[in-house]
Structure 1
């Protein structure tokens, strides 16, 4: 009889510690930064990150991914930007994602606090924040809370307002939680079985492939590395955006996909209020995942913004 394992919502997958920073030629080093605990509900957690070293001393670029994503989403982009700009580039896993620690809490207060503690422990006093979707909201919150920390800001296909458009995120969570896979089978087989089961609720193959980047094997058992319970419990928080009365006066680029609807003209007044120096641009024929659809255009837009 086959042993079936319903995939866990995801357990904390610890990355490398600061004492074991090792890497190949492409990555300068990688690690998990353990932040000092603080009182309150937004107690920081350990974040996993990769660093791609550049040759210049210019302000580093810090990439923040979207919901269900991970720091690896930006690895090829990071390598290209190191070559194009000479800057150091960091890619960071948010709490409950990738190899970062898990927590029942998933709010922008918590994620912003995590990021600030990470940058403090890495002795990064100023950076260029580049965030996609959920990561874009973390980047905006960080710039509004600590403007001296953010030299420039790039917000990728998201606005500083509640996301009111119809999303399929609840279906993704439902589909991922329902997946069952036999234990001790090859990874390629496990991925195929998982995709077959996701297909009923996740129609787009590209989205299924994206979600499957979260399928990991531990001691013969397959699990999701994202914390599905925390995401489900806080999906409303992730779709929302905190209220701010102040503004961020630094150079800001809002970069949308022309085929996406996450940044609309209805968002312009709030963007102008919070980010008066903002420039809003759209990349032709790009969906919500601009960096995956049009990586060369995305890199060129970022480079042009850095030089402006």
Structure 2
């Protein structure tokens, strides 16, 4: 289990697959309160033929470190890992908060990004007045209830309760300080007005039933991307968990397309 020390944190990561394969490496970045194992299905599939990299973000999973005040700090961690692994150019795949991270990298270092994939992610956190009030109230709940409420909302209706409980338990194991400060960083995230700068081919894949980061917000940002493909799947916000095979197929199709 390789690790890298970066700015007071120890990042745990996986680096698998053949180094001499065709195509640049795939780099997978998970979301808020999750860990690198959200990508198990994709890693198993793609590592057979190309290099794949994933990490636990600082304070998540098996990585140490405090929460961050801005998404850019997490983007710096990912870039530090790529530098350490001598990866000059890659395909970046991010889920939810991970999608915010990879957008940040694409804007700051376009030379490092061959393609971009955003899974259940958006470019600006936007709330209706009612939902904004609900989110503000939810932060005042006891910590475990706050996390549990958000994780329950992340799954589509009818998803097995025992599976949801498993992910709630894993998420509440993430330190409170990390969860709450990263939550603030996400709420402050806004690159919507800069999306025209991202020239890399981009796949926007979203769960139809996503109420955490609603589909209509993704569709609005899709119009701003110069070179975007949209794929909508019958799932909630936790698309990598609910429909892993369909997500992998969407990635496969996108990667096989010519730029």
Match of 2:238 in 1: 289
**Among residues 168, 171, 174, which one is paired with 1:211 in the alignment?**
168
Is residue 93–residue 119 contact of structure 2 (8 Å, CA) maintained in 1?
yes
Runs of at least 5 residues in structure 1 that lack an aligned partner in the other structure: 1-29, 38-43, 179-197, 216-223
Match of 1:129 in 2: 92
Is residue 69–residue 184 contact of structure 2 (8 Å, CA) maintained in 1?
no
Q: Deviations over 1:59-108 (max 9, x none)?
A: 1111111111001121232111223xx11111111111111121242420
Q: Deviations over 1:218-276 (max 9, x none)?
A: xxxxxx3x221232234232233233646110100000012224243454443333x21
Match of 2:75 in 1: 112
Query: Taking structure 1 as the reference length, what is the TM-score of the superposition?
Result: 0.69
Is 1:256 the counterpart of 2:206 in the alignment?
A: yes
Change (3 A) 1:301 1:267: closer
Change (3 A) 1:291 1:177: closer
Computed over aligned residues only, the root mean square deviation of the Cα atoms, in angstroms, reads 3.0
Is residue 122–residue 217 contact of structure 2 (8 Å, CA) maintained in 1?
no
Match of 1:72 in 2: 37
For residues 4 and 55 of structure 2, the distance between their equivalents in structure 1, rounded to whole angstroms, comes to 10
Q: Secondary structure in 1 aligned to 2:9?
A: coil
Q: Secondary structure in 1 aligned to 2:248?
A: helix
Following superposition, the deviation at residue 163 of structure 1 comes to: 4.5
Structure with more helix by fraction: 2
Match of 2:12 in 1: 48
**Among residues 263, 269, 279, which one is paired with 2:229 in the alignment?**
279
Change (3 A) 1:65 1:31: same
Change (3 A) 1:74 1:104: closer
Match of 1:162 in 2: 125
Match of 2:2 in 1: 31
- Write out aligned runs for 1:140-289 (5 A): 140-164=103-127, 166=131, 170=138, 174-176=142-144, 205-214=162-171, 224=173, 226-243=174-191, 245=194, 247-261=197-211, 262-273=213-224, 275-283=225-233, 285-289=234-238
Is residue 173–residue 232 contact of structure 1 (8 Å, CA) maintained in 2?
no
Is residue 207–residue 215 contact of structure 2 (8 Å, CA) maintained in 1?
no
Q: Secondary structure in 2 aligned to 1:160?
A: coil
Query: Taking structure 2 as the reference length, what is the TM-score of the superposition?
Result: 0.81
Change (3 A) 1:50 1:234: closer
Is residue 11–residue 63 contact of structure 2 (8 Å, CA) maintained in 1?
yes
For residues 61 and 22 of structure 2, the distance between their equivalents in structure 1, rounded to whole angstroms, comes to 28
Across the two proteins, how many residue pairs are aligned to each other?
240
Runs of at least 5 residues in structure 2 that lack an aligned partner in the other structure: 154-160
Following superposition, the deviation at residue 171 of structure 1 comes to: 6.6
The list of structure 1 runs, each at least 4 consecutive aligned residues, that deviate by more than 6 angstroms after superposition, is none
